[in-house]
A = this chain, B = another copy of it.
Amino acid sequence: MSNLSLLILPGDGIGQEVMVEVRKIIGWYGENRDLKFDVSEDLIGGAAYDAHGTPLSDETMAKAQAVDAVLLGAVGGPKYDDLDFSVKPERGLLRIRKEMDLFANLRPAQCFDALADFSSLKKDIVSGLDIMIVRELTSGSYFGEPRGIFVENGERVGINTQRYTESEIDRVARAAFELARRRSNKVCSMEKANVMESGILWREVVTAVHKADYADVELSHMYADNGAMQLVRAPKQFDVILTDNLFGDILSDCAAMLTGSLGMLPSASLGSPMENGRPKALYEPVHGSAPDIMGQGKANPCACILSFAMALRYSFDQGTEAKRLESAVEKVLADGVRTGDLMQASDGTPATTSEMGDAVIAAL
């Protein structure tokens, strides 16, 4: 196989530290499997702003467009809180999502057996939980025009626009149905069709795609507020949840927290196939830059390592190797190796970021 190209964007805060561990994993695959990666690294977020005055330079953007897959750490930090909206670290992330047209954001909310006790929910409600949220990532209220702060009738008004075209809904719905077929074959689509016309169109298009090409998949619809309730009440009723950009932001964080271990959750953002047949793709942990613990060796690298596992599966067609890496992480957890976020203060000394990474390598 020709070399696979990867662009690593560690970003800010613990993004830097967890990426060091992912590099070890990438190295292991190069040495022990026929998987050679050409790895380049660049800046995004606050780190890019510090260097270039922009949270994502055109050069970095061009590199991202050219590689097989992008691995991102995290962006943001209190240092950048007072920056103008247009150059905030988040704008770098939103730009890369938009320009790579990564419309399908896959966020698994999976409860690891060894960690079920960490959930704030009762164990029987969450143990074995395995939901896949498919969030539309390139449209909706995040990008719709008009937007901004304007003056009207002598006062300011803040405006954003929720906006979805049929084809935008169609393609992300297909992504959800395809995924469901490889899982438990159920999709629940969430919107506010009782209040918003954009929700009505969403429901109509999802229903039409289902009828035309995915009638074998079980489809249900739920209002997003009820969706939030049901996630808290009985999350195991769900397999794949399909929703828009803004609802997906909130519902996926809610679902993530059910598992009790944010430091374990990866994500994939996928676009259309490139010339080589691979989808445009960016992989990143669900957790943020966690400035409070940065630089102390406390960060849990698992979410980022598992994001690389998703890259193996979705970008490089290495489902078996992805599974191997996921099993290695599970084994490490079962063996009781834990970073601080996965233990109580009374449980003794936590593993460092690098010890956790080494343990995964050992388990491979």
A158 contacts which chain B residues (CB < 8 A)? 162-164, 196-202
A148 contacts which chain B residues (CB < 8 A)? 197
Q: Which of B197, B254, B256, B258 contacts A147 (CB 8 A)?
A: B197
Q: How far is the CA of A94 from the CA of B196 in the complex (A)?
A: 12
Q: Which of B122, B125, B196, B229 contacts A254 (CB 8 A)?
A: B229
Q: How far is the CA of A217 from the CA of B76 in the complex (A)?
A: 28
Given A121-B120, A228-B257: A201 touches B142 (CB 8 Å cut-off): no
On whether the beta carbons of A254 and B228 are closer than 8 Å, the reply is: yes
Minimum CB–CB distance from A55 to chain B (whole Å) comes to 12
Q: Which of B76, B149, B163, B198 contacts A200 (CB 8 A)?
A: B149
Q: List which A125-166 residues lie within 8 A (CB) of chain B.
A: 125, 141-142, 144, 147-149, 152, 155-166
Which residue of B is nearest A262, CB measured? B229
On whether the beta carbons of B198 and A160 are closer than 8 Å, the reply is: yes
On whether the beta carbons of B234 and A256 are closer than 8 Å, the reply is: no
Q: List which A22-57 residues lie within 8 A (CB) of chain B.
A: none
Which of A13-21, A242-250, A270-278, A352-360 participates in binding chain B?
A242-250
Number of copies: 2
Given A94-B195, A120-B122, A159-B163: A228 touches B250 (CB 8 Å cut-off): yes
Contact with B along A200-218 (1 / 0, CB 8 A): 1110000000000000000
Q: Which of A160, A166, A200 has the most CB of B within 10 A?
A: A160
Contact with B along A232-270 (1 / 0, CB 8 A): 111000000000001101111110111000100000000
Is the CB of A192 closer than 8 A to any CB of chain B?
yes
Given A192-B249, A229-B253: A160 touches B197 (CB 8 Å cut-off): yes
On whether the beta carbons of A258 and B232 are closer than 8 Å, the reply is: yes
A232 contacts which chain B residues (CB < 8 A)? 120-121, 232, 254, 257-258
On whether the beta carbons of B246 and A192 are closer than 8 Å, the reply is: yes
A228 contacts which chain B residues (CB < 8 A)? 228, 250-251, 253-254, 257
Contact with B along A91-127 (1 / 0, CB 8 A): 0001000000000000000000000000011100100
A197 contacts which chain B residues (CB < 8 A)? 85, 147-149, 158-160
Given A121-B122, A155-B166, A234-B120: A160 touches B196 (CB 8 Å cut-off): yes
Q: How far is the CA of A229 from the CA of B156 in the complex (A)?
A: 31
Minimum CB–CB distance from A148 to chain B (whole Å) comes to 5
Is the CB of A172 closer than 8 A to any CB of chain B?
no
Q: Which of A148, A149, A158, A225 has the most CB of B within 10 A?
A: A158
Is the CB of A224 closer than 8 A to any CB of chain B?
yes
A229 contacts which chain B residues (CB < 8 A)? 253-254, 256-257, 262
Interface pairs (9), CB distance under 8 Å: A120-B122, A121-B122, A149-B197, A157-B164, A158-B196, A158-B197, A160-B162, A162-B162, A254-B254
The 10 A-B pairs at the shortest CB distance, nearest first, are namely A158-B201, A158-B198, A228-B254, A225-B253, A232-B257, A229-B257, A160-B162, A157-B165, A155-B166, A160-B196
- Contacts A157-B165, A158-B163 known; list 12 others, CB within 8 Å: A94-B195, A120-B233, A122-B122, A141-B196, A142-B196, A156-B166, A158-B202, A160-B196, A160-B197, A228-B257, A232-B257, A232-B258
